[in-house]
Amino acid sequence: MVNSYAPGENYSAQEGSFEGPEKLLEIWFSPSPEGIIAHQNLSTVEEPKGLRIIPRPCLDKMLSLVKCTVLNVITNSDVDAYLLSESSMFVYPHKVILKTCGTTTLLYAVPKLLELAKEYCGFEKVWRVFYSRKAFMFPERQVGPHRSWEDEVEFLDKYFDGGSSYKIGSGLHDQWHLYLTKPLDDVLHHQNILNPYFKGVMREHEIRSGESTPAASDSDEEDPSPFGNAGHSYPDQTVEIHMTGLSQEKMKQYFYHDASKTASGLEGGVWVDQQTGIDQLYPSAKIDSYLFEPCGYSSNGLWQDRYFTFHVTPEPECSYASFETNIPVERSHGHEHRPIEALISQVLAIFDPSSFTVTYFTSHHEEHHSQRHMVHSMAAIDGYRRTNRILYEFDGYDLVYGHYEK
């Protein structure tokens, strides 16, 4: 059964929920696109497109379970980016990233996605899973398995083995929730160096200021990331910025006002990109944006094999904006403001939030790893007071969580 509302309509707005903070799911069937054949024991020797061959009607049906629709799609040689009525989906050969806001039932996509991966791609097993979200603004309005974090974890445990769950940060409204699984043991002998073995053991460290770290050099690859590193040769990273209490002056651009001055839909999205400077964050990226009626904005961007995405709920009573990217950024070193701070500051300038939370999640090479490479991430941000900064160290990955207020 498909959704009863038209493409482009917002289910959560119809339901009156206006829940900005998104649910984010990543399901990996292999550590890399190149490893699919070996990891899934496929017989073909051709370079597979993997999950990208799943027919669009099947994906639409899966998304109907979540209560969202596809607005537009952009692609390149590495990934398909779906702009949704309630956020985004990115489909790689070896993994799917699904992000939805409002009262969507994202986890209901899990069994259908596993079914499609098996039917069309021959994928019999999952390599690893990540599920995360910021604390909801209106948790009482959530439905299905999203009524509580405990319900979400219980649902995920039905489909995946070896899962661990965490609530990160202090303050009920500022917490970030994370669920992850260990890598599947029988694919580790094909391990990709960019995605090292992740045992899922966590150690928490309060970050001390003032330590020095060796400088890092930028990649020499053509068309480098504007924030310090090129994409293909760098560890797996994800940066998320969750912003609340947005400037209402800046939010005016995210409302559809007058058809004689501003279009809605995809055309309106381009207008917002240009007016706000979103199109200058990664100037060489391919961007797909949408301005909703009467308000709201979503955007996907592709740069090489990486993505970024924005989502904005501008109403003053529940204003929220999110930014996410896996385009690599350089870590901070000593007291210098390095590209991670430059990225954060440039995003903040677009929305001028009263408070925000940042998560910086990155893999590392065991033989080169040092906590010192992470301790300076998210240092002082001009105009804001840091109320919390913690380093979470996993075997194979590090996470830095920071919360800031004006």
> Residues marked as binding?
18, 86, 292, 315
284 among known catalytic residues: no
Active site residue 101: yes
**Catalytic residue (one of 101, 242, 299, 373):** 101
Catalytic residue among 17, 30, 87, 225: 87
Q: Which of 242, 311, 364, 373 is catalytic?
A: 311
**Residue 362 pairs with which residues in a beta bridge?**
237, 398
Binding-site annotation, residues for substrate: 18, 86, 292, 315
Residue 24: both structure tokens together: 């984010």
Question: Nearest Cα to 23, choosing from 171, 152, 151, 141?
Answer: 152
Contact 280, 361 (CB under 8 A): no
The CA distance from 70 to 79, in Å, is 16
- Is 205 catalytic? The answer is no
Which of 166, 162, 150, 152 has the alpha carbon at shortest distance from 204? Answer: 166
Shortest CA distance to 132 belongs to which of 29, 16, 238, 17? Answer: 238
Residues 132, 298, 332, 363: which is the catalytic one? 298
**CA-CA distance, 295 to 372, in Å (whole number)?**
43
Is 318 among the residues known to form the active site? Answer: no
Kindly list the distances between the CA atom of residue 83 and the CA atoms of 36, 40, 114, 285, 378, in Å, as whole numbers in the listed order: 26, 29, 21, 15, 29
Q: Which residues are catalytic?
A: 87, 101, 298, 311
